[in-house]
């Protein structure tokens, strides 16, 4: 994904120098489990995962504009939620450092990526999901205008091998075009 900016954030490709910030939020037991992955146990584990992110053009670092600190990630991926026949689309995923929850930063980042997805990538839809226990992620999704679509049963296998349901949402190009200024705010 190319570099995108908002009032408070820069969304940019990952860099090797992001390791310490990445490791800091990935070791927090409040962060990973809400996204289905285990907290990182070592700097080396974080280094290995970051190396994968460096090769993935769909995943970007969420950076505070004021100080350059990486506080999360946001990505557009192949849609695994089953939207055949809707045209070109992607599934969005994101994670934010626990220290920055509740400040409206992730909705700000998601809205910017929505504009990018529909205006620059020409997508027909965006899909996103959260686990039923992740009310904070649900709130981000709802604040960003996604419509509830369905709740799956046992569709995601987390790091403990547990099958979890996902609450799925959709935003179509028509939804976006009905109020594009909402996403630019």
| Confidence (pLDDT) at 45 | 95
- Strands (E) across 20-155 are located at 59-64, 70-77, 89-96, 125-130, 147-151
Architecture of domain 4-184: 3-Layer(aba) Sandwich (3.40)
Tokens 């190009």 sit at which residue? 173
Q: Where are the domains of the chain?
A: 4-184
pLDDT digits (tens, 9 = 90+) for 12-42: 999 999 999 999 999 999 998 888 899 999 9
Are residues 165 and 175 in contact, defined by beta-carbon separation less than 8 angstroms?
no
pLDDT digits (tens, 9 = 90+) for 95-121: 999 999 999 999 999 999 999 999 999
Query: pTM of the entire structure?
Result: 0.93
| Confidence (pLDDT) at 184 | 84
């Amino acid at each position: 994904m190319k570099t995108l900016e908002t009032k408070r954030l820069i969304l940019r490709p990952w860099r090797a120098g992001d390791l310490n910030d990445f490791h800091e939020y990935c070791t927090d037991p409040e962060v990973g489990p809400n996204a289905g992955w285990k907290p990182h146990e070592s700097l080396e584990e974080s280094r290995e995962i970051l190396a994968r992110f460096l090769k993935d053009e769909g995943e970007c670092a969420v950076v505070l504009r004021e100080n350059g600190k990486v506080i999360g990630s946001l990505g557009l991926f192949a849609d695994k939620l089953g939207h055949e026949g809707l045209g070109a689309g992607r599934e969005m995923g994101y994670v934010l450092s626990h220290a920055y929850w509740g400040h409206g930063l992730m909705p700000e980042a998601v809205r910017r990526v929505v504009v990018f997805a529909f205006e620059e990538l020409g997508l027909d839809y965006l899909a996103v999901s959260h686990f039923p226990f992740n009310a904070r992620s649900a709130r981000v999704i709802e604040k960003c205008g996604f419509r509830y679509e369905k709740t799956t049963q046992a569709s995601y296998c987390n790091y403990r091998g547990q099958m979890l349901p996902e609450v799925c949402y959709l935003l179509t190009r028509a939804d976006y075009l009905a109020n594009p200024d909402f996403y630019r705010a």
